[in-house]
Amino acid sequence: MPIVQIFILLALLLIFIQDITGRAVYWILFLCLFVLFFILRLIQRAPLMVIWQSFAVNVLFFTVQLFILSGYFSLKNKRWVNITDGLLGWGDILFLLAVAVYLSVLNFLFFYVAGLIAVLLVWALRQAVVKQKNNQVPLAGLQALFFIVILATDWWFKPFGLTGDTWLLNLMMKWT
């Protein structure tokens, strides 16, 4: 296993620990994660144009999601709502931007949706079990933990190929 992968897993683990324990993550961790993912893609011999195109599409998708969420909450509250003021933390946004440089487009969409569902289920279970309720979901931390599992599985057992869409396209073909 390349040392870069070990540092990626450590950065993700630190994000998880900081978000769970303090509900805040040092922004430098997200920058380090972004750089490590970019370096790993270069080590994997991905052309810069492929990295850039996937990243650009992933960021465009995520940006549209943020605007839709802002629009929804603005309509609901009958005033402009900035979703980074109490609804979605900057750490959550920076985490997804860091992941966006590594994942292919379909894998990013899959991770985004599956990660949100997994976090929702884990947080709902936690809220049901723990007496002390908390309205703030450690989204970046729980998604980092989820991504550790996905990355480790992909790197050691190679069932996915997270930097290409082949496994998801094959899965979709089986379902049609």
**pLDDT tens-digit map of 129-169:** 887 777 788 999 999 999 999 999 999 888 778 888 888 78
pLDDT for residue 81: 86
114 pLDDT more than 70: yes
Q: Taking the chain, what is the end-to-end CA distance rounded to the nearest angstrom? A: 36
Q: What is the pTM of this model?
A: 0.90
Who wins on pLDDT, 24 or 44?
44
Average pLDDT, the chain: 91
Indicate the number of domains in the chain: 1
Distance of CA 136 to the CA centre of its chain: 17
Q: How confident is the model at residue 92 (pLDDT cuts 50, 70, 90)?
A: very high
Token pair for residue 84?
Answer: 């980074």
Using CB atoms within 10 A of its CB, is residue 138 exposed (0-12), middle (13-18) or buried (19+)?
buried
The answer to whether residues 54 and 104 touch, using CB atoms and an 8 Å cutoff, is yes
The answer to whether residues 11 and 31 touch, using CB atoms and an 8 Å cutoff, is no
Q: For residue 131, which phi and psi values (nearest 5 degrees)?
A: -75, -35
Mean pLDDT of the 86-108 span: 93
176 pLDDT more than 80: no
Mean pLDDT of the 38-50 span: 95
58 pLDDT more than 80: yes
How many other C-beta atoms can be found within 10 angstroms of the C-beta atom of residue 120?
A: 13
Q: Name 97's Cβ contacts closer than 8 Å, sequence gap at least 6.
A: 30, 34, 59, 62
In which domain, by residue range, is 40 found? Answer: 3-175
